[in-house]
Amino acid sequence: MTDAYLKKPLPSIDEQKDFYQQLRSRIEHWLENKSGPLSRFSKYLLFAPDLFHLLTKLMLDSRIDSKNKGMVGAGILYFITPIDFLPEFIVGPGGFLDDVVVAVFVINTLLNKFPIEVIEEHWAGDDELLSVVRGISNSGNKFVSKLPAGRLVKRFMK
């Protein structure tokens, strides 16, 4: 990348909100016609935009040290990388399941290192952050281990 590209300003707050809303709408629309096993995970998929938003805001927070920002950056990169364990371009928005798993792992790690207020300050979701993280983590033991990303995250947690 060129220096000019790296110095390019971040998208405006309105552009960021537009992306966030577009992602949420895309997931909601995709879930409208889903039933069976995938419908059990729909509530987790709807957290994907909230978790992505949280990670991007944490990346810009000066209270988060560079080592932990590296982990946050890896979580963001996992979201935007086109090839991962459940690629969105093949699976559709259902491919965000593994991204949610990785994001929750990163956020759980940060919650153990920083005051919760620092993390919650950036949370845009409707539900309480700790409830979301606990819910996904607890449910995760049931279905996360079936996802390749879940198995990978569990290796890092040992």
> Residue 5 falls within a domain, yes or no?
no
| Res 157 pLDDT > 50 | no
> Residue 3 falls within a domain, yes or no?
no
> Residue 27 falls within a domain, yes or no?
yes
pLDDT of residue 1: 45
> Residue 1 falls within a domain, yes or no?
no
pLDDT of residue 8: 67
| Res 21 pLDDT > 50 | yes
| Res 43 pLDDT > 60 | yes
> Residue 7 falls within a domain, yes or no?
no
Q: Which domain holds residue 20?
A: 12-157
Task: Provide the number of structural domains found in the chain.
Answer: 1
> Residue 146 falls within a domain, yes or no?
yes
> Residue 71 falls within a domain, yes or no?
yes
Question: Is residue 24 within 8 Å of 49, Cβ to Cβ?
Answer: yes
Q: What would the pLDDT profile of 96-154 be if each residue is shown by its tens digit?
A: 788 888 899 899 899 999 999 999 999 888 888 888 888 777 665 555 455 555 555 44
> Higher pLDDT residue, 106 or 91?
106
- Give the model's confidence band at 7: pLDDT under 50 very low, under 70 low, under 90 confident, else very high: low
> Residue 129 falls within a domain, yes or no?
yes
The 3-class secondary structure across the chain, one letter per residue, is CCHHHHCCCCCCHHHHHHHHHHHHHHHHHHHCCCCCHHHHCHHHHCCHHHHHHHHHHHHCCCCCCHHHHHHHHHHHHHHHCCCCCCCHHHHHHHHHHHHHHHHHHHHHHHHCCCCHHHHHCCCCCCCCHHHHHHHHHHHHHHHHHHCHHHHHHHHHHC
Q: What would the pLDDT profile of 45-90 be if each residue is shown by its tens digit?
A: 888 888 998 999 999 999 999 999 999 999 998 888 877 766 666 6
pLDDT of residue 156: 46
Q: Global pTM? A: 0.71
